[in-house]
Chains A and B, each alone.
Chain A
């Protein structure tokens, strides 16, 4: 890169917000290709693997990082602070993985709020032993010494709801293939328009190995779950009654789940033409149900356990409504 720092190699950072850690594993999943990456960049900050501190980042000049790869949704004040700090120090911020991109699984917590989550986790869950009913505090005095914890937001946010994001690497986690393509494009300076999702802008069905067996008209009268069927390995999963979200989901993963006989659950999110993944996925499902009778339609959709969690599994914070409605005293 022309504007690389003194060492000649661009500096990059990795950071982990509200996520499971699978995105960090995905970096290691690059296998021998990781040597190519490590040879081409200086890793300036990667708390999960290397001993850098926050103050090291604070000491950097603004814009001195070529790119920060941030995974995870934003759930706490600490994550918001780190996202803002890395934004300030980076030329590019890349939302890495479904949680940073769309909110991901942690984003399903937007069906609740801080109070109900704390009550459940610290007071009500069967394995909790908390006789004094202590809840997390952002500040606590112990013998005059203040102790602090990050604050916990009511609402989980996507990374781009907190700081401007330049690119998105979708997936739970992003696959080695799309990570490598993105890193190579970054190193060559051949990135597409800002704001792009770095994966093909078409539906997963287009790259699905079972595509040819997808009937012209799918007509489902029953949704089945994977454990209820002996899956035929060559046939379209929707045609077998499995709720596959491939028609509503962006391609780029190589249909990994489908190749493993599991229906697509939508982790790559929508294509660029769709604003609300769940709404569009819902529309796709409504199209393939073969019934025009009210009661039968109700019965068929009842076979989908937890429709909201299924349709918005990775994208509730990025949806139009973003969370369950909060009712506050007027």
Chain B
């Protein structure tokens, strides 16, 4: 769709002064959330831009959660799960991987850059990895600028026929 891509794939928009990315992170209860907890108790410092939501498994993250996060103002969405083979529920993270693979394709056609949606395997002991991934993603999203998803809410009441609006 060459016609459609020109509007969003420049990526050259300068981030406005003071822009702080808002990133919604879904961390699984058994691995990544424990790692984030460990990062905290180890007094590691990392960017305060993530809002962590604990789910029992990364496989609990319905694609609708990701879409809703973007629709409601997230600049990025991060999913953290157990390493392949380590899922507490055996295969939940593989399901996440399959959803993620297809969803990032769909998001790209909807104008959401791949850096804004990330899946990482982080085990319970990898606090340092939480710190590194979060910091890296925050910087990448900061460079992209705000998502500014303009979900059109109201239909402009066309009292005059000439009036045209989005």
B98: chain A residues at CB < 8 Å are: 286-287, 289, 291, 297, 301
Query: How many residues on chain B are close to A (CB under 8 Å)?
Result: 49
A276: chain B residues at CB < 8 Å are: 63-64, 67-68
Bound form: Cα–Cα A276–B63 in Å = 9
9 A-B interface contacts by CB (under 8 A): A81-B161, A279-B62, A279-B66, A279-B103, A280-B64, A297-B97, A322-B151, A325-B111, A327-B10
Main secondary structure of the interface of B (DSSP, over half): loop
Q: Are A321 and B99 in contact (CB under 8 A)?
A: no
Partner-contacting stretch, out of B40-48, B123-131, B142-150: B142-150
* Residue of B66, B109, B152 touching A308 (CB-CB under 8 A): B109
Bits for B64-105, please: 1 = Cβ < 8 Å to A, else 0.
101110110000000000001000000100110111011101
Partner-contacting stretch, out of A29-37, A98-106, A146-154, A189-197: A146-154
Taking the closest CB of chain B, its distance from the CB of A324, in whole angstroms, is 5
Taking the closest CB of chain B, its distance from the CB of A249, in whole angstroms, is 16
- The reply to whether the CB of A120 lies closer than 8 angstroms to some CB of chain B is yes
- The reply to whether the CB of A80 lies closer than 8 angstroms to some CB of chain B is yes
Q: Which residue of chain A has the shortest Cβ distance to B61 in the bound complex?
A: A283
Q: Which residues of A contact B (CB under 8 A)?
A: 74, 77-78, 80-81, 84, 111-114, 116, 119-120, 138-139, 148, 150-155, 157, 161-162, 274-276, 278-280, 282-283, 285-287, 289, 291-292, 294, 297-298, 301, 304, 307-308, 311-312, 319-328, 330
Main secondary structure of the interface of A (DSSP, over half): mixed
The answer to whether A297 and B84 touch (CB under 8 A), given A279-B63, A324-B4, is no
B164: chain A residues at CB < 8 Å are: 77, 138, 151-153
Bits for B18-51, please: 1 = Cβ < 8 Å to A, else 0.
0000000000000000000000000000000000
The answer to whether A282 and B103 touch (CB under 8 A), given A297-B97, A320-B67, is yes
